[in-house]
Amino acid sequence: MKAKHRFVVAVVVLGLLMTGPFVVTSLLVWLDMKDAERQLLTELLLSRLPVGTMMTVFGFVLGVLVLHYLFKQYVEGLLRMAETLRLMLGANRNFRVKIDGPPEVQQLARAANDLAQQRDELMDDVDAQVAKAKASVEEEKNRLAALMSELAQAVVVCNLDGRILLYNNRARLQFKALAQGPTSVAGGALIGLGRSIFSILEKNQVQHAQEVILQRLAAGKSAMSNFITTTRSGQLLRAQMVPVLAATGSDGETAMSGYVLTVENITRSLEQEARRDQALHSLTEGSRSALGSIRAAVTNLIDYPDMEQELRERFVKVVDDEAAKMSQRLDVTMAEFSDSMKTRWPLEDILGIDIILAAQRRIDDRLKLPSKTEEIEDALWIKADSYSLVFALVFLASKLQDHYEPRELRFRLTSEGKLAYLDLIWAGPAMSSETFYTWEMESMQVGSDTSPLSLRDMIDRHGGEIWYQREKAAHRAFFRFVLPVAMPEVLHEEDERKRGSGRPEYYDFDLFKYSDDSIDLDRKLSDLTYTVFDTETTGLEPSNGDEIIQVGAARIVNNRLLRQEVFNQIVDPERPLRPEGIPIHGITEDMVRGQPTIDTVLPAFHQFCEDTVLIAHNAAFDMRFLQLKEARTGIRFSQPVLDTLLLSAVVHPNQESHKLDVILERLGIEIGKRHNALEDALATGEVFLKLVPLLANQGIVTVRQALEASEKTFYARVKY
């Protein structure tokens, strides 16, 4: 029985106790009286009935007030204390019972807090022992995650149903680059823990590769399978699959429980090879007829030495024209081949001092020219192709030695902002700009080593610059290479690192057990995949023209909030923002200008959250905005929706407030910034994970039970 129902019963009992004995006694006396006595008693009571009634009513009201006070202090106070104790047991162990109410309740609260403190000390000791025992295992897992994250090749690990349970940063960036259409708005390709690899790779090819591996395993051969597949955007991917084997019993037998995919985008390399093949084909086929004409002309000149002068000149003209055409065709082909060479080698992060040391060794070995260093930033990293850069330095040193015979060379390495300055210095006479231009444009050659690239080609491929400059006071000159400083890859990764802490979130090996991709309302809350989301809007009236200006969302997989797998997009509302709302959400007119409209963002968000249960705080508000856009966008969110506001009311019905700020404080959750869609969504996800065990304590363990319990709360009646 609910507390308010018990209070009503208590009031009824009080009324019966106050009036019951008097009524029963009066009835017994009345039945035992004679008629004359009854008449006399009636006359006596009627004159005094108003006063008696007023006294009875006054006493009843006073009794109800006293009963309400006692009920409030003892019954509701103890119920709130019980909720707080369950909160300390399940969600926020640092929370404490508030010391208020009558002295007896205060003593009970102090005793409960003392017990909670002792429990925390014991739990801290147990946690320390468990953490110590798990440290080595966790360290191995994190080493693996770090290794996978830093690999230059895209790696994805899946279970047998194609669900992704590990991927590294290279895979995330590669599939994001392959994304097309609405998914490119805010998240790139939909790669993430628990998602299906078949949304990226062709399912039939992956399954065929699995069959090949199983056959090779059965035959006792090395288990590996390779295949090439095409993405929706027409890109070619080369994939290699190896099995993940797990023990199936005590006899030591193993079976395939998943697979590792290494994926490489070979589209560009195939295009370059096709270009080179076409160039070689053009060179050979185009030269065939020219060589035939030249051979015929030369044969005639040899066979007929006494031919007429006019005819001889015609044959010589044929040889000259065909040779000129061949030369022109060769120049064009080499130019195309050189262009393909420029994009052939990737730029890598390398210490600038290592480039200088390599160049010094080559110059000393090849040219016997001494060199020194001055003003070197030892910790400066640059982005470069080390081979071509060192070759360019040796090439310039060779040119200087041939033309100006310097006694020694000096190297200098400095930086300014995002640019690195690598200087090759020598003492000697001034160089003309024409000479430097000639060196810059000719193909580089050092002894017998040649490169199809010119110095200008090499600089352009680095996205840098080179110039010649004199130091008149020191009677020196130098070539300055301006190169990009190596910077970490910036794709909102700094924000992701701030959101993520502790164990890396690019893997979850427990997902080997995950197979069902349907939304079954009778499954446990901890077993499903969720998308927790929030919106920022121009106002609070969706039915009166207010629009969405930001959508933020994150995924919960295997009872973990994945802070790296997020959706975060500013939306152009196509209407002016309310000035009073800007200080609250911090989104200005400049921030929404040029952003995609809801027609583009909503399909992308729908794809991000498909096949998941939606979670929001005060979900009726956010869902109303989405529902009003169904006719315009054709997008309908039909999956189940859980509301943390309603779930909080289910778990803590006696708490006065269920605002997000209050719940965060109650559950001990910290948030970076309120009224930011992504940050609020992440906070709501933390709230939900804290509420799951509290709901289980009340027997609410499935999505269906959570929805049914939510519908019974007072807050479920709120409409927008």
Nearest to 38 by CA among 30, 47, 46, 26: 30
Query: Strands, DSSP E only, in 433-475?
Result: 443-446, 449-454, 465-471
Tokens 């023990």 identify what position? 247
- Type of residue numbered 627: Q
Segment 396-405 long-range contacts (CB within 8 Å, at least 24 positions apart)? 396/424, 396/439, 396/455, 396/479, 397/359, 397/363, 397/367, 397/369, 397/371, 397/424, 398/366, 398/367, 398/446, 398/447, 399/439, 400/426, 400/428, 401/367, 401/369, 403/435, 404/428, 404/429, 404/431
Residue 350 pairs with which residues in a beta bridge?
A: 382
DSSP character for 157? Answer: E
Neighbours of 193 (CB within 10 A): 24
Residue 361: CB partners within 8 Å, gap ≥ 6? none
**CA atoms of 201 and 571, how far apart (whole Å):** 30
Tokens 């990226």 identify what position? 200
Instruction: Judge whether 462 counts as a catalytic residue.
Output: no
Catalytic residue among 281, 652, 658, 675: 675
Decide: helix, strand or coil at residue 424.
Answer: strand
133 backbone dihedrals φ, ψ, rounded to 5°: -70, -35
Query: Strands, DSSP E only, in 346-418?
Result: 348-351, 371-376, 381-384, 409-416
**CA atoms of 585 and 512, how far apart (whole Å):** 40
Residue 202: CB partners within 8 Å, gap ≥ 6? 229, 230
- By annotation, the residues acting in catalysis are 675
